[in-house]
Structure 1
């Protein structure tokens, strides 16, 4: 190899540090499987975690502020260059963000070994630094249309802070932190989903020469968004106030109408699109169940929570991570059989977990759901890890592996 080739190789960063989706999607996949495996080990073999959080709270915390926040970071750091025309966050800054996220995961897991204030500071650093980076890039690019995007990240930081304040003994509503965090994530899914799902569907249908296309954003979309935002925030702040239950039912109906306009049945031949429509359907199911649980004692809130988490968050996260991983590395935007299996496993995991209502089969269904979830995200890491670690391919004319 010539000396110039060696110098060029040294100058080029590793592929994983070139753009945000690469390390953060990989970490999200790994941590989703590992954290859930740890939670199931607590339930089945009595594993003791050296965390200040009790095991259930640690499980909730790490799925929302570990796994999901990593996926959000990967998405935003990849989308912002497209929105602003600025170069992507890469190299040392990207690596520093990943290490900040990782430090939070380790610190939360072993927080019993640290003073509470120090553990909280280390864990909270990532969401607030990420919020600052996102805001800086959008402002520098004068992309005012997307100035709303740092708000959900800031809300997640505040929600995480509330969990630590509750842990310290502050007189907060029990569970306020995680409820607010979940509400922020679901609203973000509704906002982003309302952009990408009809857009991707429209593009695919045009290539198929379809005559009926998803309509442009209209009053239905605005009403659906506002009602869901009000219902989720109302539930987070006042979980016992029954009017918010009715509001969530109205939001579910409006969002079902919204989803119906996006022509989901017409894209059944492409799993990369179908999974996004299915993920948004889980938002609707979760909102409806959550509203019903506030109005009727026989509808358990746990079913609603897991429709939103295992269902909406699980399917939408995998749908976005697989699509972005393929498209932004120059690969064909079509799902192979392994990708289809990833989607099937996460949907079955959500169904099993929501079905685990009070009854003799609940424990078994929870374990089945966990195995399916770990299998889905484990397959994602095995199938897409090499893609995320490898340089972009030169051509999209690649036949997917079947």
Structure 2
């Protein structure tokens, strides 16, 4: 709600922050390893309990993890760089260790790769801080691209489980079946495409693999019958967000060919796919875990639409009318900020109260 409008104000010279890294790197890092990682950690720790039946952190331990996360966000602006880096590097390994321990104790080996991806995210974060401080001879932005790629892979895996399951449970009579070969090809090709994009130079081969991954995601989405969800906002928000994955991959493919800059593809994946999936999942899961019906209100639907508009304003309109870039950036930041303000307004009272049905949250 605050970080994106603040970033645009900094970018346009309206606000000055005493940052120890460049504002662009601060913005990109905090949205990936601050905002998105917090949501992923919360989701996986919550899901880990559902998958295994074993307790995950709550009470004082969970508060300590949240406090560590908040301390790193504040240190980015108010503390020396070394303090910021140390605090920022602690959270992901802790969450990964907790999740992997719970999964192994329960024998839930199917989900262990998600814990491994968290460790890889921690490694990408370490590479970022190492690059910024001169300890590693790579561009910091390459580590950020690796972080985005790993986040996209988490989204591909989780979306493949929850979107069809949620769709079937909400629409009686709808049966969704994606061929296992298509699932494997989609995930495998996406992993290869993102790895080539992160690790290699721009090349026609990487463009081809990214394009192939985009096509496979389109085929996967069509199998989920997205048009059947038009009357259910709590469903269509997830389908619409997922549609930004092939768009983002296709835009990255074009960037590999030099047709356009890499920013469009990155923001399609970050704003459209990641932002859309987050607003859809944090509303649905919060409703479920507070004992409320899984039906979005008008304010929540407005939040969904605003995040979708933010993606269009940040990704597509700058391609069509680059001369109005500042207008699009300000409008996108406003739409994003209002969307998450609506979430805060609706959900804050629910999240600080006991469940309506009296069960454990």
TM-score (norm 2): 0.95
Q: Following the alignment from structure 2 to structure 1, what is the Cα–Cα distance between the partners of residues 32 and 51?
A: 26
Q: 1:254 aligns with which of 216, 231, 236?
A: 216
Give deviations 1:158-216, integer Å, cap 9, x for gaps.
Answer: 1111111111123114511100000001111000000000111111223xxx2x41105
Matching of residue 102 in structure 1 with residue 70 in structure 2: yes
Three-state SS of the structure 1 residue aligned to 2:94 is helix
Cα offset for 1:157? 1.1
1:390 is displaced (CA, Å) by: 1.4
1:265 to 227, 231, 234: 227
Answer whether contact 1:155 1:180 (CA < 8 A) is retained.
no
- Aligned pair 1:195/2:156, yes or no? no
User: What does 1:1-400 correspond to in 2, within 5 Å?
Assistant: 33-110=1-78, 113-114=79-80, 116-169=81-134, 170-206=136-172, 210=173, 212-216=174-178, 218-295=180-257, 297-354=258-315, 355-357=317-319, 359-394=322-357
Q: Which has the larger radius of gyration?
A: 1
Give unmatched runs, 5+ long, in structure 1.
Answer: 1-32, 397-402
Is the Cα contact below 8 Å between 1:290 and 1:301 reproduced in 2? yes
Cα shift at 1:299: 2.1
Quick check: 2:39–2:278 contact (8 Å CA) kept in 1?
Answer: yes
Task: Supply the distance in 1 between the matched residues of 2:141 and 2:33 (Cα, whole angstroms).
Answer: 14
Query: Is the contact made by 1:331 and 1:395 (CA closer than 8 Å) also made in structure 2?
Result: no
**1:138 and 1:147 in contact (8 A); partners too:** yes
CA distance in structure 2 between the aligned counterparts of 1:174 and 1:205, rounded to whole angstroms: 45
Higher relative contact order by CA 8 Å / sep ≥ 6: 1 or 2? 1
- What SS does the aligned partner of 1:171 have? coil
Q: Write out per-residue CA displacement over residues 345-378 of structure 1, whole angstroms, 9 at most, x where no aligned residue.
A: 0000000000223721011101110110101111
Check whether the contact 2:248–2:266 (CA below 8 A) recurs between aligned residues. yes
Structure 2: gaps of 5 or more residues: none
For these two proteins, the number of residue pairs brought into alignment is 356
Shift of 1:138: 0.9
CA–CA distance in structure 2, aligned partners of residues 282 and 334 of structure 1: 23
State the shift of 1:274 in Å.
Answer: 0.5
> Partners in 2 of 1:351 and 1:368 — Cα distance?
10
Bigger shift: residues 318-327 or 127-136: 127-136
Structure 1 residue 47: Cα displacement = 2.2
User: Normalising by the residue count of structure 1, what TM-score does the alignment of the two structures yield?
Assistant: 0.85
Q: Secondary structure at the match of 1:243?
A: helix
Q: Compute the displacement of 1:268 (Å).
A: 1.3
Displacement of 1:109: 2.1
Question: Does the C-alpha gap of structure 1 residues 239 and 268 become closer, same or farther in structure 2, counting only changes over 3 Å?
Answer: farther
For 2:169 and 2:300, the matched residues in 1 are separated by 21
Alignment check: 8 A CA contact 1:271 1:340 kept? yes
